[in-house]
Amino acid sequence: MIKICGTGSALPAKKVTNDDLSKIMDTSDEWISSRTGIRARHLVTTETTTGMAVEASRQALEQAGITAEELDIIIAATLTPDHVLPTLACEVQATLGAVNAVAFDLHAACSGFLFSMNTVAAYMQSGVYKNALVIGAETLSKIMDWNDRGTCVLFGDGAGAAVIRNLEEDGTNGGLLSFAQHSDGARGSVLACGNRPVQHPFAQPREEENQNVSMDGQAVYKFAVSTVPKVIEEAVTKAGLTIEDIDLFVLHQANQRIIESVAKRLKQPIEKFPMNLQACGNISAASVPILLDSLNKDGKIKPNDRIVLAGFGAGLTWGAAVIQW
Ligand code: ACO
């Protein structure tokens, strides 16, 4: 059984409300909250992606009751590591002293935590590794155009983590039951962020890329509401279950209207779709593990609950997994 045995999360101390934003740009709480549900987000002041990831990881290890030395693999899902090199996963490994783990980053934008979890599960199913740490951590505030009110108001910073173990010998059922994941690079331009320009002495001049996030909001909205219900149904069917068997749907926290639309399309009550986007905004790869950790710590998940985790975002990428707690 491949099981989530511990969770953790960390948010920056600085909370920035919609009203705070309206003092520095032409926006309002009414505009942001009515279109997205978001009322506040946490933004780094002194915190780092690595520092938040380490804090979330320590909590997850403590809850799982294992030491950092027992980890075989660390995958960090991020699009905003502190450095290009070394990777976030290696920086976390060094701080935790997880000397026996292989560590690397996986970049799948808002689907990153989910794809990382599915990757460690595949290693575990083939018997390669037993104990994994999966992290989703972002400092999205550093890749926002703070003059673009259409994007910067949507995102926040933070980190979540989960310790995932292959407990094959414990004889109980449950854990990860199934997953499904997809990409469509042909539609990638709807949510984009450029990289550093090529500037070596032999380079030809090229058109400069926007090094901040740019988004066709309506195209992203249509993509999310059409693909997410389908991939959830695909994963649930693979698990041999029906949508009615699912107790909780923990979706990427992009937008309340997207989540409400998915609930409607799946004909499920909105109460099964917990949200934290009101207080945290969209934290890309960190959204799902932060929400999972708060549900776990608040006692909102009961043993044997069947939970769908779903991610979707840039790439385009999207996926879902079914777990039994
Ligand atoms: N405050 C006030 N006005 C604003 C703001 C703002 N923060 N941002 C844009 N506006 C204005 C625009 O300038 C525009 O004005 P105009 O009509 O005078 O030109 C008007 O509001 C409408 O702008 P639209 O972009 O058309 O607004 P829309 O109704 O599409 O809402 C939104 C934008 C909320 C982004 C919506 O498209 C959406 O929810 N999309 C989903 C995308 C999403 O959630 N992305 C998250 C990242 S991707 C991911 O995580 C999967």
Do 66 and 182 share a structural domain?
no
Q: Of the candidates 242, 135, 117, which has an alpha carbon nearest to the alpha carbon of residue 181?
A: 117
Q: Which residues are catalytic?
A: 110, 252, 282
Do 128 and 19 share a structural domain?
yes
Do 63 and 90 share a structural domain?
yes
**What is the chain's mean pLDDT, rounded?**
96
Do 95 and 217 share a structural domain?
no
Do 138 and 38 share a structural domain?
yes
Query: Phi and psi dihedrals of 179, rounded to 5?
Result: -150, 160
Do 80 and 46 share a structural domain?
yes
* Domain count for the chain: 2
Q: Of the candidates 81, 212, 225, which has an alpha carbon nearest to the alpha carbon of residue 151?
A: 212
Return the number of other C-beta atoms located less than 10 Å from residue 51's C-beta. 20
Q: What is the whole-number distance in angstroms between the Cα of residue 151 and the centre of ligand 1?
A: 7
Q: What is the whole-number distance in angstroms between the Cα of residue 150 and the centre of ligand 1?
A: 5
Provide the domain limits for residue 226: 175-194+208-324
Specify the DSSP class assigned to residue 168: G
Tell me the whole-structure pTM to 2 decimals. Answer: 0.96
Where residue 74 sits, what CATH number does that domain have? 3.40.47.10
- Say if CB 282 and CB 221 are below 8 A apart: no
For atom 20 of ligand 1, the residue with the nearest CA is: 150
Q: Quickly state the pLDDT bin for 283 (edges 50, 70, 90).
A: very high
Query: Phi and psi dihedrals of 218, rounded to 5?
Result: -70, -35
pLDDT digits (tens, 9 = 90+) for 151-199: 999 999 999 999 999 997 665 667 999 999 999 999 999 999 999 889 8
Query: Phi and psi dihedrals of 46, rounded to 5?
Result: -110, -15
Q: What's the mean pLDDT in 207-218?
A: 92
Do 239 and 150 share a structural domain?
no
Q: What is the whole-number distance in angstroms between the Cα of residue 186 and the centre of ligand 1?
A: 23
